[in-house]
A and B are shown apart, each in its own frame.
Chain A
């Protein structure tokens, strides 16, 4: 990360980190450190009460009004299989844009912005942890393990929703 070479990156955007560098937003869920690519983050805001959605998976807290857009809020802890968050005023929502689709992730706190070399990112060790499937890599530094979130995987899948709906209907019917 000490010798950024700009010459071989024709698509380099001024102000963006060099091609072999990534900028990550780090945040905490419970006691664990996570991060995600900063390019996906649209804004960070405080928690506000969401409107509950029927037939939604447990980790979908509801929808909020983000300047006229209806944006679903995901409890990232619940999504990753950790203990569900009891949202309160101290919690933080990271608004993420996947293409044109906006989603809010509820986390405990946002800590830092980190610039890392792509070489530092290691592949996810095959842990016995269900959250592993939502990670795109890990970074170890100073005895700390930083997980990089695979945002696309953590979004509520549309097929999954359909499954949930069917399930919900089935529950409803029995």
Chain B
């Protein structure tokens, strides 16, 4: 990966985080009472997210993204300046703008197209917002932004890039307009304060895509602002991409130090920043002119000259700025002793003690591949440990020897490491939920049904891969919920419900698994209609009267769609069966519950990780195999009277008045048959599609334990009925069975569709297995 690619990659990673923060901010803001004043903190956070995306996008020349982010930002800016108080419709536009921004980021990242029409539409809506609410948008906005966001792509040749970066500096900072009274209205910190900020960037500042002019512009938004430059460190032959300048800024503002620090947040690692209060709070009269540190604002002259031709400028040691702050010396001094370089003795310690630093959680970005390697190695460790245990037992060294005590400790540690490494892969479902919120907004707009979307348990952590593979199924379920689940607004009003439908998405940890529930308060499943369609499609016998739960489960049948009208959103025939199989591939289960007139709830239960699995170790004709526990409902040891032979070789077992076909796993996998008497066999009752039950016949159950999942496909290929392999304590490989597929393999796809469990008089499909 080239360094530019790497930067791009980092940028898009950051975008994902920023979009998340954006959604968070909007959630907070839209939850607030409409009558309350806007929470400026949140508006600022939202603004910063968009602004950062715009800044990064400009560095990569992503013009489309920059343009839209700019339109978006302008509106947010108006909000935080108090020029705009969004109403209900505006909020909708703002949320959609967030969606469009996310779409543009994704389009730029994957190099694919995006919905340009929607972008234009939302862009117009954004424009209309400031047009309608605030005629007073300063013309300055356009004047300053145009040159600043002329993209300054990384990798331009030096001189040009240098010019592009420097150009705006000369433009408008000295005559930045005084902010209006509405600009900053923080009721808790009344009165103006004067800050002195020393900003001494490292030479590599520009290389990282930063530009002081953005910072200065943001500062100028906060209040009255004067800047002086110290270019004493400028060498005779400066390199255009290096930064040799230091700045000293006097800022008169109502904001507090933390706000200023936030502006410098992104350049913090690349610069020495010292912020200090100059006067006591409340002394409105004290302007920048009153401080001793003030520089003559005559510096633009050398600066202008610099912009014309940097190489023509000699080192200028005689300028007042150079005398006032000897660049490099100050730079070194200011870091270790908080305010040693600061001439403001009143509050020398305030500068570095900001609570925002503590609040930030430090994280590391790690390549997922590295984590997977680690998981593999830890898996080996666990296998190795059980191998050792086995060897010690085999050697007859059981009991209270030191070896076995040490081994127990080893086992404990190995387990701990395994859990620790697994938790690295875990990720909160929050980004997933936010993405789903977007889906619901979209679906709500297309279907023309107002929807209130609620989420809970966003902090629940699940394996990254599980989260990725939940996107499609959840998208489908939520679209269904909006499209089919919720009634139209009129029908809702007629039923005495609020016209706005509610869709809820929740996640929770429950007994070592993750439970995800999607519920709506719609009309519930129309069971007579479902049954009618099922009969029409031949999925159910024409005279059958299945119980309600069974009717509900019909929705998971392949090709089942109840919608009268095939809409844009759903009802294309691929339906819940696809969702169901996707969930099952993740080792999960899905179930549906519905109450007529009250709504439908779909529950998904998932394993925490895909790297290990809780399995039952069984013996099948001498072979050791593992059956995933999540598939097994119960285990049976049948008596001879429980088993009824139907045709030759095919048997069923009566389990609580239900006849369940027996599937001999040995036969399924083509192992030579050694038919044992019924009472010596063990049956594992499993449930597959539509809650149909089957009894897997094995010779014995050896153990129940966690096994590490190993891919068979990596070196070999897929094997029907086998999900993966694992390595047992004796170092040998055991196959992990996919019960669903094993049964399908045994029966053949065509043969199972018309076989309800209750039809015990029919020949069971186990018959053909007996070839």
Q: Give the segment of B38-46, B484-492, B713-721 that binds chain A.
A: B713-721
Contact A102 B715 (CB under 8 A): yes
**Please, which residues of chain B bring their CB within 8 A of the CB of A16?**
none
Contact B717 A68 (CB under 8 A): no
Query: B377-421: which have CB < 8 Å to A?
Result: 379-380, 383
Contact digits for B312-334, partner A, Cβ 8 Å, 1 yes 0 no? 00000000000000000000000
Cβ of A173 under 8 Å from chain B:
yes
- Point out the residue from A52, A60, A72, A171 that lies within 8 Å of B771, measured CB to CB: A171
Contact A68 B623 (CB under 8 A): no
Contact B380 A68 (CB under 8 A): yes
A93 to chain B, nearest CB (A): 14
Contact A52 B623 (CB under 8 A): yes
**Please, which residues of chain B bring their CB within 8 A of the CB of A55?**
669-670, 719-721
How distant is the Cα of A70 from the Cα of B712 in the complex, in angstroms?
6
Cβ of A127 under 8 Å from chain B:
no
Contact residue range for chain B?
A: 35 or more
Cβ of A161 under 8 Å from chain B:
yes
Cβ of B10 under 8 Å from chain A:
no
- Point out the residue from A54, A72, A103, A171 that lies within 8 Å of B669, measured CB to CB: A54
Query: B718-742: which have CB < 8 Å to A?
Result: 718-722, 725, 727, 731-735
Nearest neighbor of B623 in chain A, beta-carbon distance? A52
- Point out the residue from B725, B745, B771 that lies within 8 Å of A63, measured CB to CB: B725
**Please, which residues of chain B bring their CB within 8 A of the CB of A67?**
380
How distant is the Cα of A54 from the Cα of B745 in the complex, in angstroms?
12
Nearest neighbor of B387 in chain A, beta-carbon distance? A65
- Point out the residue from A72, A161, A168 that lies within 8 Å of B715, measured CB to CB: A72
Nearest neighbor of B381 in chain A, beta-carbon distance? A68
Cβ of B538 under 8 Å from chain A:
no
- Point out the residue from B670, B715, B718, B733 that lies within 8 Å of A51, measured CB to CB: B733
How distant is the Cα of A51 from the Cα of B626 in the complex, in angstroms?
13
- Point out the residue from B383, B623, B715, B748 that lies within 8 Å of A71, measured CB to CB: B715
Whether A63 contacts B623 in the complex (CB less than 8 A), given A70-B725, A172-B670, comes out as no
How distant is the Cα of A158 from the Cα of B716 in the complex, in angstroms?
8
**Please, which residues of chain B bring their CB within 8 A of the CB of A68?**
376, 379-380, 383, 710, 727
Contact digits for A140-174, partner B, Cβ 8 Å, 1 yes 0 no? 00000000000000001010011001001101111
Contact A172 B746 (CB under 8 A): yes
Contact B771 A172 (CB under 8 A): yes
Contact B720 A158 (CB under 8 A): no
Query: A50-74: which have CB < 8 Å to B?
Result: 50-56, 60, 63-65, 67-72
Contact residue range for chain A?
A: 20 to 34
Cβ of A20 under 8 Å from chain B:
no
Contact B748 A169 (CB under 8 A): yes
How distant is the Cα of A149 from the Cα of B298 in the complex, in angstroms?
83
B747 to chain A, nearest CB (A): 8
- Point out the residue from A51, A70, A102, A174 that lies within 8 Å of B623, measured CB to CB: A51
A115 to chain B, nearest CB (A): 30
How distant is the Cα of A165 from the Cα of B718 in the complex, in angstroms?
9
How distant is the Cα of A54 from the Cα of B623 in the complex, in angstroms?
11
Cβ of A49 under 8 Å from chain B:
yes
- Point out the residue from B669, B671, B733, B746 that lies within 8 Å of A70, measured CB to CB: B733
A54 to chain B, nearest CB (A): 4
**Please, which residues of chain A bring their CB within 8 A of the CB of B670?**
54-55, 168, 172
Contact digits for B451-466, partner A, Cβ 8 Å, 1 yes 0 no? 0000000000000000
**Please, which residues of chain A bring their CB within 8 A of the CB of B671?**
52, 54
Nearest neighbor of B721 in chain A, beta-carbon distance? A54
How distant is the Cα of A156 from the Cα of B725 in the complex, in angstroms?
18
Contact A72 B380 (CB under 8 A): no
**Please, which residues of chain A bring their CB within 8 A of the CB of B114?**
none
How distant is the Cα of A63 from the Cα of B722 in the complex, in angstroms?
13
Could you list some 23 contacts between A and B, CB below 8 A?
A: A51-B624, A51-B725, A52-B671, A54-B668, A54-B720, A54-B722, A55-B669, A55-B721, A63-B712, A63-B716, A65-B727, A68-B376, A68-B727, A69-B710, A69-B715, A71-B715, A72-B715, A100-B714, A102-B715, A161-B716, A172-B745, A172-B769, A174-B771
